[in-house]
Structure 1
């Protein structure tokens, strides 16, 4: 029983971590790909 709960907790942590990484990757991708709108991506404007 303890193992099952531990695995569930680890799975939940992995899913949340992967979700954060996915959001970060999508944000970076959109920031790098949106060269037409430099106002939406301040990083490209800084470069």
Structure 2
């Protein structure tokens, strides 16, 4: 499947987008931390 190869190449290609990666990683980490602090089911309710 050439489409999958192209997609992977496109993802690996932008190495200059370091700033974007630095912004995305902490954001994803913050969202994960948020899930830990805010459980889907509050036992007090």
Task: Place the TM-score, normalised by the shorter chain, in its bin.
Answer: 0.5 to 0.7
* 1:10 and 2:23 aligned: yes
Q: Which residue of 1 aligns with 2:36?
A: 23
Paired positions, count:
30
Name stretches of at least 5 consecutive residues in structure 1 with no aligned partner: 36-47
Superposition RMSD on alpha carbons, in Å? 2.1
TM-score, structure 2 length as denominator? 0.53
Using structure 1 for the length normalisation, give the TM-score.
Answer: 0.51
Higher-helix-fraction structure: 1
- Structure of higher RCO (CA pairs closer than 8 Å, 6+ residues apart): 1
